[in-house]
Amino acid sequence: DLVFPSLSYRTGPFAAGGIAFADGYADYFTLLNERDGGIGGVMASVPECETAYNAEKGVECYEATKAEGALVYQPLATSITYQLIPKVEVDGIPLHTMGYGRTSAKNGEVFRHTFNYPVNYWDGASAGVNHFLDLNDGSLEGRKITLLHFNGAYGKEPIPTLEALAEKHGFELTTIAIDYPGQEQKSQWLQIRRERPDYILFWGWGVMNQVAVQEAANIGYPMENFMGIWWSGSENDVLPAGAAADGYKALAFHEMGSDFPVFDDIQTYVVDAGKAAGAGDQIGSVLYNRGLYAAFLAAEAAADAQEATGEPEITAAMMRDAMESLEITAQDMEDAGIPGFGPVFSVTCQNHGGDGLASVAQWDATAQEWSLISDFFPSDGEVVNALIKADSEAFAAENDITPSCD
Amino acid sequence: MLDDTKTETLLEVNNIEVIYNHVILVLKGVSLSVPKGGITALLGGNGAGKTTTLKAISNLLHSERGEVTKGSIMYRGDRVQDLQPSDLVKRGVIQVMEGRHCFEHLTIEENLMTGAYTRTDGAGAVSADLEMVYNYFPRLRERRKSQAGYTSGGEQQMCAIGRAIMSKPETILLDEPSMGLAPQLVEEIFTIVKNLNENEGVSFLLAEQNTNVALRFAHHGYILESGRVVMEGPAAELRENPDVKEFYLGMSEDGRKSFRDVRSYRRRKRWLA
Amino acid sequence: MSADFLYGIEVIINGLMAGVLYALVALGFVLIFKASGIFNYAQGVMALFAALTLVGVMEGQVPFSHVINAVFGTEIHHFGWEVPALLAIFVTLMVMVLFAWLVQQLVFRHLVGQEPIILFMATIGLAYFLEGVGDLMWGSEIKTLALGLPQGGSLVVEDWTAGLGGDDFYGFFIDKLDMVATLVAIVLVAGLIGFAQYTKQGRAMRAVADDHQAALSVGISLNFIWVLVWSLAGLVALVAGVMWGAKSGVQFSLSLIALKALPVLMLGGFTSIPGAIVGGLIIGVGEKLFEYMIGPMVGGATENWFAYVLALIFLVFRPQGLFGEKIIERV
Amino acid sequence: MLDEGYVTADGRQIGGVMMDMRGITLRFGGVEAIKNISFDIREGEIRAIIGPNGAGKSSMLNVISGFYNPQEGEVWFHGKRRPPMKPFQVARQGIARTFQNIALFEGMTVLDNVMTGRLTQMKSGMLAQAIWKGKAEREETANREVVEKIIDFLEIQAIRKTPVGRLPYGLKKRVELARALAAEPKLLLLDEPMAGMNVEEKEDMSRFILDVNDEFGTTIALIEHDMGVVMDLSDRVVVMDYGRKIGDGTPDEVRNNQEVIDAYLGVAHD
Amino acid sequence: MLYREAGDFKTSYPEDSQTFPIAFDRWRYWAVLAIAFLVIPFVINDYWASSLMVPFLIYAIAAIGLNILTGYCGQVSLGTGGFMAVGAYACYKLMTAFPDVNIVFHVLLAGGITAAVGAAFGLPSLRIKGFYLAVATLAAQFFLVWLFNKVAWFYNYSASGQINAPERFIFGTAVTGPSAPAWAQYLVCLVFVTFCAVLARNLTRGSLGRSWMAIRDMDIAAEIIGVNPLKAKLTAFAVSSFFIGISGALFFAVYLGAVEAGDSFGITKSFLVLFMVILGGLGSIFGSFAGAAFLVILPVFLKIIGVDVLGWPTEMVAHLQLVIVGALIMFFLIKEPHGLAQLWRLAKEKLRLWPFPY
Ligand SMILES: Nc1ncnc2c1ncn2[C@@H]1O[C@H](COP(=O)(O)OP(=O)(O)OP(=O)(O)O)[C@@H](O)[C@H]1O
Ligand SMILES: Nc1ncnc2c1ncn2[C@@H]1O[C@H](COP(=O)(O)OP(=O)(O)OP(=O)(O)O)[C@@H](O)[C@H]1O
Ligand SMILES: CC(C)C[C@H](N)C(=O)O
Ligand SMILES: [Mg+2]
Ligand SMILES: [Mg+2]
């Protein structure tokens, strides 16, 4: 079997997001098994392990599953990522943190087993600013941007990038932190109401998201100037606010909706066969699609590895090599039944993070759907890459790693 | 005075055994009966099992991890072992616990009113009884608005007894009422017990260390040692028993002994040593 | 008036409103503590459970459908009917009463007379248990509570007050939901105070809190009193669950509001119903003002700890809280 | 001290004034529990305090042991005025006591309870105790010997290792006495040591009190409601009523004082 | 009679006050130690180490620490998570500031620093009692976590606010960092546990321990018989925090390797350790071990049964886990409020009387 452990969380404070992602991740592999007889003829298995978004349980899950021949880990939590980064180096198992985790892991010379393609948080910060630049004909001079963020590793991640960008583009950056779990954001929003920033960038997760959207609506903040990172842009986050959430934006790095051939197959081969991972009610939701996308990227890499080595039963090391030379083309997506689902990108040893392409999605409250309102556009590589270089080199120095590609 | 032979038996304890914590055997077969309208004294040294007996009767052992493992307890001919304490109160059996146990944060008056919790005979009757309690214990009237936690030991004892009276009981189980009370008050309280007994017809089962007083007021007595009844009889007889005299009344052949002499005389041998 | 000053006032007003919401949760704690000396950590989870049940009933969800489906491989989810809000609230209340009764019969009846910390532990066990049951029963995804409570800033107030300050002032922001919550809280508190002070059961409840054994000995049925207060606490939990659930959806984090109620309790005193309200208001205003004035200097997100520190400072001067019963220390 | 004391009829030496309470007034909010009371305790004597319930006797002991600070009045100890002190500082001056409502440490064994009485004597530091072997162990053993003597003396050897929570009332009182004695106090305060005891047990307790007084020369202040005990044991008696002092003198003087009879004794006691 | 203490007479007081006065117990104790030190290191693998043994040992230290404060001194604390964070961050700062000093000293020093912090937060206990104090310790919990989150100096200005344990060696073997072998991590923790347990035992059987227990059982009386409450409470806070700090340091450096204050040392951690202490038995060192073992092993066990054996969905198992753990907590408290340690004692008492029922 090809083992793709799913460190999921279907309980606890972030269950709402975790469930959809885990369903998508599992269903895609089930589909491959049911429809194609696995990957390259070998069945995929997806042992699930509940982490509850908790670092300790995450580690326990990792240890419990790694002996089963795990090919790649997708822990879906920045905190767990930090625990696993050193461990995967030693165990030689690749770690894929898609759109989260440690941004500087993009530098594959230092983080040999960690991948964070296709985008990372610093790309996200820059993409957000780029979008605002677009809206303002390329100048944010004298504008006010507020970063409203989760008070933890995840939420603090974009701050250095935004500081650099603020300097570059001449906007004024303020940061407002929200403590976990973020059910009460009165003071934060009163502050926003008073300061009236032109734009708000938002790094939230869990209940914090919907409360923020609700509060923004309550104070009458213009929704189209309020933009979340991709983890703050699912149906869960906007539905509770009803019509008031209309126009809220979020970044994205893949397509929305269920308008792809793959979903028909999932319906026939997975749901109708009674093999769906969850209740089957998440299909086509933003986070379900993201889980599916993660599974797709993993399956592609596994297939590449089989092709490159000629071995159907690949090992984690082969998987890693394949991930390092992963190339996602339009054809790959077409074949998988998700044409144009995400940007095309490629991975190299120097660049474990893909091309950093993101897009902007917007919520339409009447149609009750998210849709992309822009193409996939690049982040400010100049700023982001410099930061990544500095951070990863510092890490290398601290841990006696000589950056290299072999 | 009560005639021992003819009256109906209210409470009957038959050969009960009590075990604490599943391992500590405390009562080893205790039997006794309380006749209607009588004052029955339960005497015995420390740790003899008086309190345990009373708690077994009023079903308060559970919360101390104790249980009656053998024997039966009957009230008016009904088995009452499996009833809730509140059911017993409704049937007219109430216990005044050793060590007062007033509700510290309630005022004296509120404490007394909790005694009337199970009553259904209307506010008028209750306030009449409250008045009666205040008449028996004028000291309580003075302190009616104080929180019980701040009253002196004696005041708390009065409060506890008053509280029991407020339930208009038929039988009161009274655990060491004289403990810590001034001599005058001890007399007073026993007089009140006697009055209640004679005027209101309340029966008493009275655990006491103060044998002297207890035997003066009681009709019948049981002496408990190490979880067994070692002697019983009409109070008057017990008072004359030489052993009782020596060990419980502090008398020698030639009258009261001085406590100052304790160091110089030898004790008689006990029944159970 | 300067805009800054007016914003300060706005923060205070909103702090008061937030305080009312904290107090709603704190009230449940007070009730149970008063009656049994049990520090009921499960109060937050009870709010979650009540809200979950309310939504589930309204939407006609089949309880435990996840489990049933997983074990028997069936595919049932809904009964296919919807229950009107008022009826659903009633059903939920009945469920809470049943819950109170079960808790009493199965757990606390056996713990009479134990030390407070043991009872406290038991309620934490209860919180785990109830959280698990809630999830198994209704599922752990986010649910929206559609009771039609008003939301959003009140434009009336905003327009009305906009003229007070200069151009930099936009009028007071007051959330309509908060106003509703305040009204509900006032009614609830008045009712509860009346109950505790002026009824026989209220007195019995306080007696039980002081001395379980003695209460038993005077014929107070602990069982009855406790089922009663747990039911009342269930009612309070439902109200709190509805108010908070309307704000942030019905999901796991609802149970964490217990943590917001603890400093309120400390400050107001564990045994005082008015204390819960006053404590809530002080905490609400205090933490909002601190975040407003000092927060920006120290990097914000101070609310979680500030409430506790504030309460701590009060306690150093009044160890039993503002309205708590004086701790009797005698030998 | 000018007054050098005297010798009692049974040959005990009573010394000068050890503890002198001068004009003590103690209020709790509106309640005046002690009203301007003065009395003294002499070295080596047994001093009884009696009075009706609520008279303020326990409060007086609490003042002596530093638990309450009186609003007015002075406490003189060994000829020096005692500044307001914390109770544990008072204890270290050699004053130990027992409590009216038993205040034992319920979670500990009898032995440990009595050993706590010696805390004022044990000096080894935290580090020494953490290491245990050596200083701490030696100190423990030395103190244990003293405690075992007291346990023998009070005849509670058999229950040495029993948790006190399980003991019957009378034994608890004895353990409390043991704990107080373990501190080797100069002044021992006993708050109703014989409440809840039968005659036999009271006799035992009396014997212990007399022995302590005799053998260790410990001064004893005693609150008790059993007039037999008070009259037989004490050298002098203070009588309190409603916070006032209504009598002070030898047992004989007190028992014939009409005010005392009215307020407390009820009938003249033999 | 399967278990006897008869015939086991002591002729001197030191012998009588030793830790295991009964020979049989003493033997069992040495046997357990021998297995722990001489057998387990040779058979342990990554999984057993990292999901059971290492966390068990580390939590046992924390539980011993909290037990000193709560079980022996009666001061209920919900700040354990915060104090563990102090240990972790102190250890991190020391490790990075003095890379050449042996990690053992860092851990001990981290304990020392935590002791000081703990004592400072213990000050309110002089006035505040019972649950009021418990809730007050939450102030410490939330404030400390916030502090470690906010002040970048504590995490050496790393972008994410995470701290990572650099690799450190004892006798040439890595004990922290990813390449540390499981047996080495296990042994380090075991040594610390043994050290802490012995220390705790010594402290609790002497005069300090007695003054703690006196304060616990009746603080007023304790003060009147001569216990200085300030000293007793603060030493309890300090000693307790010392152990908790050590456990926090190990938790970070040896067990997880990377932590973030809010995530790893949040309020749930405080509750978890309190659970261990109460379920195990307040005022019992053995109980600390029992409680830690119970709460570390039970969830793993339930997960294995539910997911691997029965094949139920993980979420359902996770929910059931909550239900079962919650129910078991209540069950044990009802069965024996004084914890597993007391259950053990009663079992021994029964054995002693066996075959007679009492
Ligand atoms: N909760 C308990 N757990 C274990 N043993 C107990 C418990 N309560 C009482 N005992 C034991 O039961 C025996 C009888 O106690 P009980 O309180 O009934 O005596 P008593 O006759 O009332 O004594 P006293 O006059 O001192 O009040 C004592 O040896 C006591 O140690
Ligand atoms: N801490 C306190 N707060 C308020 N009132 C108190 C306090 N302590 C004692 N009192 C009051 O002071 C008076 C004297 O009480 P105290 O306990 O000294 O009486 P006592 O003479 O020892 O009586 P007893 O013989 O009943 O023990 C009582 O009326 C009591 O209610
Ligand atoms: C879904 C998640 C990966 C987002 C999360 N808050 C994080 O840790 O980054
Ligand atoms: Mg008794
Ligand atoms: Mg007194």
**pLDDT single digits (tens) C288-320:** 899 888 888 887 788 888 999 999 988 888 888
Comparing CB atoms, the residue among D28, D50, D53 nearest residue B181 is D53
D135 and D77 share a domain? no
Q: What mean pLDDT do residues B149-172 have?
A: 87
Q: How confident is the model at residue B1 (pLDDT cuts 50, 70, 90)?
A: very low
D261–chain B Cβ distance below 8 A for any pair: no
Task: Among D24, D27, D31, name the best residue to mutate to test ligand 2's pocket (greatest count of ligand atoms within 8 A of Cβ).
Answer: D31
Query: A50 and E318 in contact by Cβ < 8 A?
Result: yes
* Spatial contact of B130 and B112, defined as CB atoms under 8 Å apart: yes
DSSP letters, D170-230, are HHHHHHHHHHHHHT--SEEEEESTTTT--HHHHHHHHHHHHHHHHHS--EEEEE-S-HHHH
Q: How confident is the model at residue B269 (pLDDT cuts 50, 70, 90)?
A: very low
Query: E358 and B19 in contact by Cβ < 8 A?
Result: yes
Counting from 1 in the atom list of ligand 2, the atom nearest the Cα of D243 is 14
Question: Residue B115 is part of which domain span?
Answer: 102-168
C69–chain E Cβ distance below 8 A for any pair: no
D101–chain E Cβ distance below 8 A for any pair: no
Ligand 3 neighbours (beta carbon < 6 A)? A 17, 76-78, 100, 154, 205, 231
Q: Which chains touch B (3 or more CB pairs under 8 A)?
A: C, D, E
Residues 121-160 of E with CB under 8 A from C: 124, 127-132, 135-136, 138-139, 141-143, 145-146, 149-150
Q: At residue E65, what is the residue type?
A: G
Q: How confident is the model at residue D268 (pLDDT cuts 50, 70, 90)?
A: very low
Residues 321-350 of E with CB under 8 A from C: 321-330, 333-334, 337
Closest residue to atom 27 of ligand 1, CA basis: D169
Whether residue C327 lies inside any domain: the answer is no
D104 and D69 share a domain? no
D71 and D7 share a domain? yes
Comparing CB atoms, the residue among D108, D136, D183 nearest residue E226 is D183
- Cα–Cα dist D110/D112, whole Å: 5
B84–chain C Cβ distance below 8 A for any pair: yes
Task: Among A78, A96, A102, name the best residue to mutate to test ligand 3's pocket (greatest count of ligand atoms within 8 A of Cβ).
Answer: A78
Q: Which chains touch E (3 or more CB pairs under 8 A)?
A: A, B, C, D
Our count of domains for chain B comes to 2
- Cα–Cα dist C231/C94, whole Å: 9
Q: How confident is the model at residue E7 (pLDDT cuts 50, 70, 90)?
A: very low
- Cα–Cα dist A234/D269, whole Å: 90
B92–chain C Cβ distance below 8 A for any pair: no
**Interface contacts B/E by beta carbons within 8 Å:** 11
* Spatial contact of B213 and B135, defined as CB atoms under 8 Å apart: no
Whole-prediction pTM:
0.89
The residues near E125 (Cβ < 8 Å, ≥ 6 apart) are: E75, E133, E233, E237
Lowest model confidence (mean pLDDT) among B61-70, D260-269, E36-45? D260-269
Whether residue E238 lies inside any domain: the answer is yes
D189 and D246 share a domain? yes
Whose CA is closest to A44, among A78, A4, A95?
A4
For residue B160, the chain C residues in CB contact (below 8 A) are 214
Comparing CB atoms, the residue among E210, E218, E227 nearest residue D112 is E210
The region, left, alpha or beta by phi > 0 then psi within -120 to 50, assigned to residue A268 is: alpha
How much is the CA Rg of chain B, to the nearest whole Å?
19
Whose CA is closest to B22, among D197, E342, E67?
E342
B32 and B157 share a domain? no
D232–chain B Cβ distance below 8 A for any pair: yes
Among chain C residues, CA nearest to A213: C248
Mean pLDDT, chain E, whole residue set: 87
Question: Residue E329 is part of which domain span?
Answer: 45-353
- How near does any CA of chain C get to the CA of D99, in Å? 7
Whether residue B193 lies inside any domain: the answer is no
Which pLDDT score is estimated for B184?
Answer: 80
Whether residue E228 lies inside any domain: the answer is yes
Which pLDDT score is estimated for D269?
Answer: 44
* Spatial contact of A117 and A135, defined as CB atoms under 8 Å apart: no
Q: What mean pLDDT do residues E259-273 have?
A: 89
**pLDDT single digits (tens) A96-142:** 999 999 999 999 999 999 999 899 999 999 999 999 999 999 899 99
Which pLDDT score is estimated for E70?
Answer: 92
Question: Residue C206 is part of which domain span?
Answer: 3-317
Which pLDDT score is estimated for A380?
Answer: 92
Whether the pLDDT of residue C21 is over 70: the answer is yes
Residues 288-317 of C with CB under 8 A from E: 298-299, 301-302, 304-305, 308-309, 311-312, 315-316
Whether residue C330 lies inside any domain: the answer is no
- Residue D83 sits in a domain whose CATH number is 3.40.50.300
Mean pLDDT, chain D, whole residue set: 87
Whether the pLDDT of residue E8 is over 60: the answer is no
Does the beta carbon of B108 lie inside 6 Å of ligand 2? no
For residue C200, the chain B residues in CB contact (below 8 A) are 113, 117
More confident: B13 or D8:
B13
Whether the pLDDT of residue E10 is over 70: the answer is no
For residue B67, the chain E residues in CB contact (below 8 A) are none
- How near does any CA of chain C get to the CA of E117, in Å? 16
Three-state DSSP class for residue B222: strand
State percent of chain A over pLDDT 90: 69
Substitution target in A11, A183, A281 with the highest count of C β-carbons within 10 Å is A183
Q: Which chains touch A (3 or more CB pairs under 8 A)?
A: C, E
For residue B28, the chain E residues in CB contact (below 8 A) are none
Our count of domains for chain D comes to 2
More confident: E187 or C197:
E187
Our count of domains for chain E comes to 1
D191 and D141 share a domain? no
Distances (CA, A) of D248 to B181, D191, D221: 21, 18, 14
Distances (CA, A) of A146 to A195, A196, A203, A228, C288: 9, 9, 11, 12, 19
Which pLDDT score is estimated for C299?
Answer: 77
Whose CA is closest to A118, among A92, A146, A99, A100?
A99
Boundary-marking domain end, from D184, D201, D217: D184
Boundary-marking domain end, from D126, D158, D184: D184
B176 and B153 share a domain? no
Three-state DSSP class for residue C54: helix
Task: Among D57, D60, D61, D194, name the best residue to mutate to test ligand 2's pocket (greatest count of ligand atoms within 8 A of Cβ).
Answer: D57
- Residue B223 sits in a domain whose CATH number is 3.40.50.300
Whether the pLDDT of residue B3 is over 60: the answer is no
Whether the pLDDT of residue A291 is over 90: the answer is yes
Whether residue C329 lies inside any domain: the answer is no
Whether residue E15 lies inside any domain: the answer is no
Which pLDDT score is estimated for C324?
Answer: 77
Closest residue to atom 8 of ligand 1, CA basis: D166
- Chain-centroid distance of CA A351 in Å reads 17
Ligand 1 neighbours (beta carbon < 6 A)? B 20-21, 24, 26, 44, 46-52, 64, 66, 98, 209; D 166-170, 196
- Residue C162 sits in a domain whose CATH number is 1.10.3470
Q: How confident is the model at residue E2 (pLDDT cuts 50, 70, 90)?
A: very low
Whether residue B163 lies inside any domain: the answer is yes
* Spatial contact of B88 and B48, defined as CB atoms under 8 Å apart: no
Q: How far away, in angstroms, is A14 Cα from ligand 3 center?
A: 9
Does the beta carbon of D141 lie inside 6 Å of ligand 2? no
Boundary-marking domain end, from D184, D199, D214: D184
Whether residue B137 lies inside any domain: the answer is yes
Question: Residue D223 is part of which domain span?
Answer: 1-91+185-270
Mean pLDDT, chain C, whole residue set: 85
Which pLDDT score is estimated for A336?
Answer: 93
Query: E124 and C127 in contact by Cβ < 8 A?
Result: no
Residue indicated by tokens 């009460």:
A184
Whether the pLDDT of residue D113 is over 60: the answer is yes
Our count of domains for chain C comes to 1
Whether the pLDDT of residue D167 is over 60: the answer is yes
Q: How confident is the model at residue B270 (pLDDT cuts 50, 70, 90)?
A: very low
Q: Which range, A349-363, B173-187, C59-73, C251-265, is most confident?
A: A349-363
How much is the CA Rg of chain A, to the nearest whole Å?
20
Residues 37-76 of B with CB under 8 A from C: 58, 60, 62-64
Task: Among D25, D26, D28, D68, name the best residue to mutate to test ligand 2's pocket (greatest count of ligand atoms within 8 A of Cβ).
Answer: D28
Among chain D residues, CA nearest to B214: D198
Whether the pLDDT of residue C189 is over 90: the answer is no
Its ipTM equals 0.87
* Spatial contact of D222 and D48, defined as CB atoms under 8 Å apart: yes
**pLDDT single digits (tens) A221-263:** 999 999 999 999 999 899 888 888 999 999 999 999 989 999 9
Whether residue E35 lies inside any domain: the answer is no
Whether the pLDDT of residue E6 is over 60: the answer is no
- Residue E68 sits in a domain whose CATH number is 1.10.3470
- Cα–Cα dist C111/A74, whole Å: 46
Query: E14 and D108 in contact by Cβ < 8 A?
Result: no
